[in-house]
Amino acid sequence: MLRWIPLFILLLFLPQRASAQATFIQPCHNYNGSGATSCTLTGMGAHHFIITTAVTYATSCSTSNTLYSDSLGAVPSPATTNVVWQQCLTWSGNFIQFSLICTNTLSNSGTDTFTLSASTINWISVAEYSGLTDNGVSVCATDGSNGANGTQGSSTSPASAGSITTTAAADLLIAATWFSPYPSAATITAPTSYTSRVYFPGSGTDATMTADYQPGATGTYSPTFVLSPPTWGSQGGWTGMQAAFTTGSSSSGQTQIGATLVGP
């Protein structure tokens, strides 16, 4: 029996496979009704991930309208290469362009200011995470070909963020919405099981929310945000989107999604 003791001891010290876990670090957000807007993260970490929802009031919809940058250079130029998904909603005679952007900070760290520089109305919401797939490039890895999608509407029903079927149990699901019941004041409640990370009432008659969920199991996830008030003015509308980001140190088998524009 003694001959098995060394093997038993060896097994005790073998490294155990741990489940990948994404961790929310900190948020920032801002709004400007007539030009560029910025928000700042203090103590941003190297090889962390910056997930941004950018809302711009535009006369047309195009990924080239995503004029997004930062002070440390963590966001590549042009930022369009890091647009994971984009929705375009007809609103108030023009368009609301709603973009989900993700970038790996790589070696950049410290205080970083993120800016949307379009000359119109801008909303910016930023969330810092650790633990997503560090693939050595700025573009974040998503879960397969169905790694992101979105929807939009002008009815008073809850705002859908789209439906995603995951292939990896450790995926981090990011859902986001923009809502305006103009001229009423807007409020948003996070989807069931999702945690609100950035909630920003904006100008008062509109609001944005970014929420996350790491379910720990594969499946189909179709979150909906609850919108209030239940009745809207003539310019009411909402748009939502969701992405499934992979966690861990390797991007093998995952997809780096390019910009996708959905809308009129």
Per-residue confidence in pLDDT tens, the chain, 264 aa: 444 444 434 334 444 334 578 999 999 999 998 889 999 999 999 999 999 999 888 887 776 667 889 999 888 877 777 889 998 888 777 888 899 999 999 999 999 999 998 878 889 999 999 999 988 888 899 997 678 988 888 766 678 999 999 999 999 999 999 988 877 778 899 999 999 999 987 667 788 999 999 999 999 999 999 988 766 666 778 899 999 999 975 544 444 444 444 444
Region of residue 15 (phi > 0: left; psi between -120 and 50: alpha; otherwise: beta):
beta
Cross-strand partners of 23: 130
Q: What is the pLDDT of residue 7?
A: 42
Per-residue pLDDT at 186: 82
Q: Which amino acid is at 258?
A: G
DSSP state of 139: B
The CB-based long-range contact list for 90-93 (8 Å cut-off, 24+ gap) reads: 90/237, 90/263, 90/264, 91/57, 91/180, 91/235, 91/237, 92/57, 92/182, 92/235
**pLDDT at site 9:** 42
Gap between the terminal Cα atoms of the chain: 74
Position 75 scores a pLDDT of: 87
What tokens appear for 206 in the block?
A: 């509109």
The β-bridge partners of 55 are 98, 123
Q: What is the pTM of this model?
A: 0.86
